[in-house]
Structure 1
Protein backbone atom coordinates (compact mmCIF):
# COMPACT_ATOMS: atom_id res chain seq x y z
CA UNK A 1 0.00 0.00 0.00
CA UNK A 2 2.80 2.43 0.86
CA UNK A 3 4.56 1.71 -2.42
CA UNK A 4 1.42 2.49 -4.42
CA UNK A 5 1.03 5.75 -2.53
CA UNK A 6 4.68 6.64 -3.16
CA UNK A 7 4.42 5.79 -6.85
CA UNK A 8 1.23 7.84 -7.12
CA UNK A 9 2.90 10.79 -5.40
CA UNK A 10 5.88 10.52 -7.73
CA UNK A 11 3.57 10.46 -10.76
CA UNK A 12 1.72 13.52 -9.48
CA UNK A 13 5.02 15.30 -8.83
CA UNK A 14 6.29 14.52 -12.32
CA UNK A 15 3.01 15.68 -13.88
CA UNK A 16 3.09 18.93 -11.93
CA UNK A 17 6.73 19.46 -12.85
CA UNK A 18 5.99 18.92 -16.54
CA UNK A 19 3.14 21.44 -16.30
CA UNK A 20 5.56 23.91 -14.72
CA UNK A 21 7.98 23.46 -17.59
CA UNK A 22 5.20 24.00 -20.14
CA UNK A 23 3.99 27.13 -18.33
CA UNK A 24 7.52 28.50 -18.17
CA UNK A 25 7.98 27.91 -21.90
CA UNK A 26 4.72 29.75 -22.54
CA UNK A 27 5.83 32.65 -20.35
CA UNK A 28 9.11 32.80 -22.21
CA UNK A 29 7.29 33.08 -25.53
CA UNK A 30 4.98 35.77 -24.18
CA UNK A 31 7.91 37.77 -22.80
CA UNK A 32 9.24 38.23 -26.33
CA UNK A 33 7.20 41.44 -26.50
CA UNK A 34 9.21 43.04 -23.70
CA UNK A 35 11.88 45.35 -24.99
CA UNK A 36 15.18 46.52 -23.60
CA UNK A 37 17.59 45.17 -21.07
CA UNK A 38 14.90 44.25 -18.54
CA UNK A 39 13.11 42.07 -21.04
CA UNK A 40 16.31 40.34 -22.06
CA UNK A 41 17.32 39.81 -18.42
CA UNK A 42 13.90 38.32 -17.67
CA UNK A 43 14.15 35.98 -20.64
CA UNK A 44 17.63 34.86 -19.54
CA UNK A 45 16.35 34.12 -16.04
CA UNK A 46 13.42 32.16 -17.43
CA UNK A 47 15.71 30.18 -19.74
CA UNK A 48 18.06 29.35 -16.86
CA UNK A 49 15.14 28.32 -14.67
CA UNK A 50 13.72 26.20 -17.47
CA UNK A 51 17.06 24.50 -18.06
CA UNK A 52 17.36 23.66 -14.36
CA UNK A 53 13.80 22.34 -14.32
CA UNK A 54 14.45 20.13 -17.33
CA UNK A 55 17.63 18.80 -15.77
CA UNK A 56 15.85 18.01 -12.51
CA UNK A 57 12.99 16.33 -14.35
CA UNK A 58 15.43 14.23 -16.36
CA UNK A 59 17.23 13.16 -13.18
CA UNK A 60 13.93 12.25 -11.52
CA UNK A 61 12.88 10.17 -14.53
CA UNK A 62 16.20 8.32 -14.48
CA UNK A 63 15.84 7.60 -10.76
CA UNK A 64 12.32 6.23 -11.26
CA UNK A 65 13.51 4.06 -14.15
CA UNK A 66 16.39 2.69 -12.06
CA UNK A 67 14.08 1.83 -9.16
CA UNK A 68 11.66 0.13 -11.52
CA UNK A 69 14.48 -1.85 -13.08
CA UNK A 70 15.71 -2.89 -9.63
CA UNK A 71 12.21 -4.07 -8.69
CA UNK A 72 11.95 -6.13 -11.87
CA UNK A 73 15.38 -7.67 -11.26
CA UNK A 74 14.48 -8.51 -7.65
CA UNK A 75 11.20 -10.11 -8.75
CA UNK A 76 12.92 -12.16 -11.44
CA UNK A 77 15.55 -13.28 -8.95
CA UNK A 78 12.90 -14.37 -6.45
CA UNK A 79 10.92 -16.26 -9.08
CA UNK A 80 14.06 -18.03 -10.28
CA UNK A 81 15.15 -19.06 -6.78
CA UNK A 82 11.64 -19.96 -5.55
CA UNK A 83 9.71 -21.21 -8.60
CA UNK A 84 7.18 -23.37 -6.75
CA UNK A 85 6.34 -20.69 -4.24
CA UNK A 86 5.88 -18.23 -7.08
CA UNK A 87 3.53 -20.62 -8.89
CA UNK A 88 1.56 -21.19 -5.69
CA UNK A 89 1.23 -17.46 -5.05
CA UNK A 90 0.15 -16.81 -8.63
CA UNK A 91 -2.41 -19.64 -8.46
CA UNK A 92 -3.77 -18.30 -5.16
CA UNK A 93 -4.10 -14.77 -6.50
CA UNK A 94 -5.76 -16.11 -9.64
CA UNK A 95 -8.21 -18.12 -7.59
CA UNK A 96 -9.07 -15.11 -5.43
CA UNK A 97 -9.62 -12.92 -8.46
CA UNK A 98 -11.76 -15.61 -10.05
CA UNK A 99 -13.91 -15.85 -6.93
CA UNK A 100 -14.32 -12.08 -6.76
CA UNK A 101 -15.26 -11.83 -10.43
CA UNK A 102 -17.83 -14.64 -10.28
CA UNK A 103 -19.55 -13.11 -7.23
CA UNK A 104 -20.39 -9.94 -9.15
Structure 2
Protein backbone atom coordinates (compact mmCIF):
# COMPACT_ATOMS: atom_id res chain seq x y z
CA UNK A 1 0.00 0.00 0.00
CA UNK A 2 2.80 2.52 0.53
CA UNK A 3 3.46 2.56 -3.19
CA UNK A 4 -0.13 3.58 -3.93
CA UNK A 5 0.03 6.40 -1.40
CA UNK A 6 3.37 7.61 -2.76
CA UNK A 7 2.07 7.34 -6.30
CA UNK A 8 -1.09 9.26 -5.38
CA UNK A 9 0.93 11.96 -3.62
CA UNK A 10 3.25 12.28 -6.60
CA UNK A 11 0.30 12.56 -8.98
CA UNK A 12 -1.33 15.18 -6.74
CA UNK A 13 1.88 17.21 -6.67
CA UNK A 14 2.18 17.00 -10.45
CA UNK A 15 -1.44 18.03 -10.92
CA UNK A 16 -1.03 20.98 -8.54
CA UNK A 17 2.10 22.14 -10.38
CA UNK A 18 0.33 22.05 -13.71
CA UNK A 19 -2.69 23.86 -12.34
CA UNK A 20 -0.39 26.57 -11.01
CA UNK A 21 1.36 26.72 -14.37
CA UNK A 22 -1.95 27.11 -16.22
CA UNK A 23 -3.10 29.80 -13.78
CA UNK A 24 0.14 31.74 -14.17
CA UNK A 25 0.00 31.45 -17.94
CA UNK A 26 -3.58 32.73 -17.96
CA UNK A 27 -2.48 35.68 -15.83
CA UNK A 28 0.32 36.42 -18.25
CA UNK A 29 -2.06 36.35 -21.20
CA UNK A 30 -4.61 38.57 -19.49
CA UNK A 31 -2.09 41.15 -18.37
CA UNK A 32 0.32 41.04 -21.28
CA UNK A 33 -1.38 43.89 -23.12
CA UNK A 34 -1.40 46.24 -20.15
CA UNK A 35 1.98 45.40 -18.61
CA UNK A 36 5.20 46.94 -19.73
CA UNK A 37 8.71 47.11 -18.43
CA UNK A 38 9.35 45.88 -14.89
CA UNK A 39 5.85 44.48 -14.27
CA UNK A 40 6.00 42.33 -17.38
CA UNK A 41 9.46 41.06 -16.46
CA UNK A 42 8.31 40.17 -12.94
CA UNK A 43 5.37 38.18 -14.32
CA UNK A 44 7.66 36.42 -16.80
CA UNK A 45 9.97 35.42 -13.95
CA UNK A 46 7.01 33.95 -12.06
CA UNK A 47 6.07 31.94 -15.16
CA UNK A 48 9.66 30.74 -15.55
CA UNK A 49 9.72 29.65 -11.90
CA UNK A 50 6.43 27.76 -12.35
CA UNK A 51 7.79 26.07 -15.47
CA UNK A 52 10.93 25.10 -13.57
CA UNK A 53 8.91 23.56 -10.73
CA UNK A 54 6.68 21.68 -13.18
CA UNK A 55 9.72 20.44 -15.08
CA UNK A 56 11.36 19.27 -11.85
CA UNK A 57 8.20 17.46 -10.77
CA UNK A 58 7.98 15.76 -14.16
CA UNK A 59 11.59 14.59 -13.90
CA UNK A 60 10.93 13.22 -10.42
CA UNK A 61 7.82 11.39 -11.64
CA UNK A 62 9.78 10.01 -14.59
CA UNK A 63 12.54 8.74 -12.31
CA UNK A 64 9.97 7.14 -10.01
CA UNK A 65 8.24 5.39 -12.91
CA UNK A 66 11.56 4.20 -14.27
CA UNK A 67 12.54 2.76 -10.88
CA UNK A 68 9.21 0.98 -10.48
CA UNK A 69 9.52 -0.41 -14.01
CA UNK A 70 12.96 -1.78 -13.26
CA UNK A 71 11.67 -3.37 -10.06
CA UNK A 72 8.80 -5.00 -11.97
CA UNK A 73 11.18 -6.36 -14.61
CA UNK A 74 13.51 -7.77 -11.94
CA UNK A 75 10.60 -9.38 -10.08
CA UNK A 76 9.30 -10.92 -13.31
CA UNK A 77 12.73 -12.22 -14.28
CA UNK A 78 13.16 -13.70 -10.81
CA UNK A 79 9.81 -15.45 -11.00
CA UNK A 80 10.50 -16.82 -14.48
CA UNK A 81 13.89 -18.13 -13.38
CA UNK A 82 12.50 -19.86 -10.29
CA UNK A 83 9.31 -21.18 -11.95
CA UNK A 84 10.11 -21.78 -15.65
CA UNK A 85 7.54 -24.53 -16.24
CA UNK A 86 4.68 -22.60 -14.68
CA UNK A 87 5.62 -19.57 -16.74
CA UNK A 88 5.70 -21.66 -19.91
CA UNK A 89 2.28 -23.12 -19.08
CA UNK A 90 0.74 -19.71 -18.47
CA UNK A 91 2.25 -18.35 -21.70
CA UNK A 92 0.92 -21.35 -23.66
CA UNK A 93 -2.56 -20.92 -22.16
CA UNK A 94 -2.63 -17.23 -23.02
CA UNK A 95 -1.45 -18.03 -26.56
CA UNK A 96 -4.17 -20.65 -26.92
CA UNK A 97 -6.87 -18.24 -25.73
CA UNK A 98 -5.66 -15.48 -28.05
CA UNK A 99 -5.55 -17.93 -30.94
CA UNK A 100 -9.13 -19.02 -30.23
CA UNK A 101 -10.32 -15.43 -30.05
CA UNK A 102 -8.60 -14.49 -33.30
CA UNK A 103 -10.01 -17.46 -35.24
CA UNK A 104 -13.57 -16.70 -34.04
CA UNK A 105 -13.62 -13.42 -35.89
TM-score by length of 2: 0.68
Flag the structure with more relative contact order, 1 or 2, with Cα contacts below 8 A and sequence separation at least 6. Answer: 2
What is residue 93 of structure 1 aligned with on the other side? Answer: 94
Aligned structure 1 segments of 4 or more residues deviating by more than 2 angstroms: none
Unpaired segments ≥5 residues, structure 1: 1-5
Unpaired segments ≥5 residues, structure 2: 1-6
- How much has 1:34 moved relative to structure 2? 4.6
What is residue 84 of structure 1 aligned with on the other side? Answer: 85
Please give the per-residue CA displacement for 1:56-82, whole angstroms capped at 9, x wherever unaligned.
Answer: 000011111111111111100000000
What does residue range 1-104 of structure 1 map to in structure 2 within 5 Å? 34-104=35-105
Query: For 1:55, what is the secondary structure of its paired residue?
Result: helix
Q: Distance in 1 between matches of 2:37 and 2:76?
A: 59
Number of corresponding residues:
86
Across the aligned residues of Structure 1 and Structure 2, the Cα RMSD in angstroms comes to: 3.0
What is residue 3 of structure 2 aligned with on the other side? Answer: none
TM-score by length of 1: 0.69
- How much has 1:37 moved relative to structure 2? 1.4
